[in-house]
Amino acid sequence: MQTLLTSRKERVASSRRLVEERKRKSAKKMVWFLGFKGPSGFSARSTAEEVTQGVDGSSLVAIVTGASSGIGTETARVLALRGVHVFMAVRNVDAGKNVKDAIIKDNPTAKVDVMELDLTSKSSVRKFASDYKSLNLPLNILINNAGVMATPYLLSEDGIELQFATNHIGHFLLTDLLLEKMKTTAHKSKVEGRIVNVSSEAHKLTYKEGILFDKLNDQSRYGSWAAYGQSKLANILHAAELSRHLKEEGANITANSLHPGVIATNLLRHHGLFSSIAQVINRFTMKSVQQGAATTCYVALNPQMQGVTGKYFADSNEAESSMLAKDTELAKKLWEFSMELIQ
């Protein structure tokens, strides 16, 4: 009973914090959400194709995690449409191959490959990184897109709370293992590398501490939405701290995070009734998949993003994250904590 009461109190507190954060958003943000263009020239209604119009990515190579469904599929399709050689890093290889075939059917010149990656498993992440590096190809863009949302309490095979393991630790390790490849590519090609973490506005729904460092796997503290918010907060803090490291090193690589928007994708698969309702009202209140992938593609490819790093985006414009997401000490602590977990 105490656990239920604690969980209920956390949900109420999280909801209140989200309302307060929303109140602080500027009127301009609401204007471009409603379809008017923001400073970038794009809005919430812009599509991934629109924000990359005219971009020539034929010299670039990108990895997109979770590219077998949802906005990951659209991100891979649009990058390939712009000439980028896309590696789809997916858990379900058969599903990935079906997506690849569909992309090539519509765009016969598309360069798309499928590789297996299970972000819940550190050994799988290490194998993926090793296999990719053995190809002796450059790497310009890394899009950490894959994720799970509000799952029941579960642990990964490495004994880490599943949402944190999948959404943050798997991507943290993948980025760490591929970073030297990206640095070498950027140095040799003189082309800026870009690392993109797909986060969420739900980062504002995290636990009041932000990250439960000492009680990460404590089932009595677990709240499915708070844990999701925690993992999404970690995505933003990761990008911010990584950006700081890269700037200190003078590496020609940027790192940013983003909120793709509210989209009725299979992330909602653990919430049957809500998913059904969402599908019905999707066309009225939610973004399409084409719109949902826009901010990712904008941050990854648009020339306006040249030299922009350590920022948070939504609707293809710079956006306001929570105070916790701007906490540099929290970012440093998370970095050290994550480094220990990937050993």
228 is catalytic: no
Cα–Cα nearest to 210, from 164, 246, 268, 154: 164
Helix (H) or strand (E) holding 11: helix 2-24
CB 326 within 8 A of CB 308: no
**What is the 3 state secondary structure string of 159-220?**
CCEHHHHHHHHHHHHHHHHHHHHHHHHHHHHCCCEEEEEECCHHHHHCCCCCCCCCCCCCHH
Q: Tell me how crowded residue 29 is: count the other CB atoms within 10 A of its CB.
A: 18
Other CB atoms within 10 Å distance of the CB of residue 106: 11
Tally DSSP H helices, then E strands, for the chain: 13, 8
How far lies 187's CA from each of 1, 33, 91, 320, in Å?
A: 57, 38, 31, 32
Partners of 255 in the beta sheet? 195
- Residue tagged active-site, from 222, 228, 298, 312: 222
Distance CA 261, CA 65 (A): 18
Q: Which has the closest alpha carbon to 97: 81, 111, 84, 114?
A: 114
Start-to-end Cα distance in the chain:
37
Pairing of strands 193-198, 141-144: parallel
Sign of the Cα torsion 177, 197, 124, 71 reads negative
**Residue 41 is encoded by which pair of tokens?**
């020239």
Name the helix (H) or strand (E) containing 37.
none
- Catalytically active residues are 222
